[in-house]
Each structure stands twice: as C-alpha cells, then as structure tokens.
C-alpha cells in the first residue's frame, strides 16, 4: 500500500516520535543532574554507571541534532524567506549545545576516575549549564521551528527524517527511553510502526534489558 493516507500516517508518526524524544531529553537531563549530585565521594561504581548513562544520553542527543542539521536546515533554508533567521538561530543553538556536551565529556571523564566530590560538583554545574541551553533550544524549536517544518517539508522529507530517527534509536536503551516517556496512545503508535519481528525482539529481550539498565541508573 503506497497511498497518500499511509504516507500521512507515517509523517504523523515521525512527528510524534520527535515530540516524545524531546520530552526524553528534558527528563534525562534533569535526572542526570539529580542522580550525579547524590553520588557520595569515592563511590566509583556509581560514578561509572552514571557516566555510562550520560554517554548514551549524549549519543542520542548528538544523533538527533545531526539528523536535524543534515535533513531539516538545508531544505528549510532553501524555501523560507523571512523566517530564515529562525533556522539560523536553531543552527546556532545546536552549536551551543555541542559546546556544553564537549565540556561535559571532559568533566565526566575527570569525575569517573576517582569519583571525587569537587569533580562531581563540576559535572553537576556543567549539566546545569547544558540543561539551560538545551531547554532554551527545545522551547524555541517547538514554538518557532516546528510550524515552519510542518509548512515547508514534503512527505518524502518527513519519511527521510523518520528513517534517520529510527536508525538513531537503535539499541534498547534509547528505544526504551522513548517508550517510557510515551503516553499509551503514543506507545501503541510507535510499536505499531515496528516490523512484527522487531516488536517480538523488543518484548523478549529489549524491554527486560532496558528495565535492568534503568534500575541500575536510578538506584
């Protein structure tokens, strides 16, 4: 079936997964800050678990931004006129987020080694700065950019974004994070979009793995 209705449903699915993913980034950046702040000095085991979780978070956010950098900004800049400043602002915000992530990479590596109290506080401060920049971007993206994308992107471009999005969620930790955040209706739609075999793999192997990961991370 390749009718217009099906394409529209897919487009709707891509938008929903994007929306849920933005909520995941809001949630996980807050939780990371709270969880790292609670680690006792010298608890290297706990620091190692949270450092690993931070790297998954960073991977998901980087993939998400790369997808937007490559698939969203070029077609929009080619079509918008007066609203080009919105797209350029998004690009600049992505660069600012990347700077905060680079600072976090260094801070987390320094903390992970011995789980020192000062190093932990540096990570928490860097997470706080990162979150402020990220939330400003997500709020702006939702208010100013998404209406442009809805107006100017073709169904085919939405489909490309969707493919990139699904590839970026490979692995139970990222996929599980999206399903955890999704409402029951959103969850049903995301799972319906999977091939039947992938759905079985998720229930049998992915979901228990995600549950174990989250129990370790949230303590």
Judged by the rule CB under 5 A, the positions of this chain that interact with Fe ion are: 68, 141
The Cα 145–Cα 166 span in angstroms is 21
133 or 159, CB closer to Fe ion?
133
Least gap, CB of 22 to Fe ion (angstroms): 8
Q: What angle do helix axes 184-192 and 172-181 make, rounded to 10 degrees?
A: 140
Q: What is the nearest approach in angstroms of Fe ion to the Cβ of residue 65?
A: 6
C-beta separation of 159 from 7 below 8 A: yes
How far apart are CB 174 and Fe ion at their closest, in Å?
Answer: 16
Least CB distance to Fe ion at residue 14 (A): 14
Q: What is the three-class DSSP state of 195? A: coil
**Distance of alpha carbon 29 from its chain centroid, rounded?**
10
Instruction: Tell me the three state secondary structure of residue 156.
Output: helix
Nearer to Fe ion, 19 or 207 (CB): 19
Question: Residue 72 or 115: which CB sits closer to Fe ion?
Answer: 72
Compute CA distances 119 → 53, 101, 113, 218, whole Å: 17, 16, 10, 20
Cα–Cα distance for residue pair 207/175, rounded to 1 Å:
9
- Using alpha carbons, select from 178, 163, 190, 169 the residue that is nearest to residue 26: 178
C-beta of 7: minimal distance to Fe ion in Å?
Answer: 24
Q: Which is nearer to Fe ion, 11 or 68 (CB)?
A: 68
Dist. CA 80–CA 82, nearest whole Å? 6
Contact criterion met (CB below 8 Å) for 57 and 32 = yes
Whichever of 45 and 88 has its CB closer to Fe ion, that residue is 88
CB of 176 to Fe ion, least distance (A): 22
In whole angstroms, the minimum distance from the beta carbon of 73 to Fe ion comes to 10
Task: Report the Cα–Cα distance between both ends of the chain, in Å, rounded.
Answer: 46
């Amino acid at each position: 079936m390749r009718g217009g209705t099906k394409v529209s449903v897919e487009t709707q699915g891509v938008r929903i997964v994007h929306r849920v993913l933005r909520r995941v980034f809001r949630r996980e950046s807050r939780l990371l800050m709270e969880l790292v702040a609670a680690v006792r000095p010298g608890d290297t085991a706990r620091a190692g678990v949270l450092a690993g979780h931070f790297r998954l978070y960073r991977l998901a956010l980087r993939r998400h931004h790369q997808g937007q950098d490559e698939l969203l900004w070029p077609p929009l800049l080619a079509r918008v006129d007066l609203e080009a400043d919105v797209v350029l602002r998004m690009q600049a915000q992505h660069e600012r987020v990347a700077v905060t992530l680079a600072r976090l990479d260094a801070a987390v590596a320094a903390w992970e080694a011995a789980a020192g109290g000062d190093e932990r506080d540096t990570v928490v401060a860097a997470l706080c700065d990162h979150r402020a920049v990220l939330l400003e971007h997500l709020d702006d993206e939702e208010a100013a950019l998404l209406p442009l994308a809805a107006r100017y992107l073709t169904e085919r471009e939405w489909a490309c974004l969707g493919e990139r999005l699904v590839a970026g969620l490979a692995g139970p930790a990222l996929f599980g994070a999206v399903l955890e955040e999704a409402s029951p209706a959103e969850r049903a739609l995301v799972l319906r979009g999977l091939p039947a075999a992938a759905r079985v793999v998720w229930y049998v192997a992915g979901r228990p793995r995600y549950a174990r990961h989250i129990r370790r991370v949230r303590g």
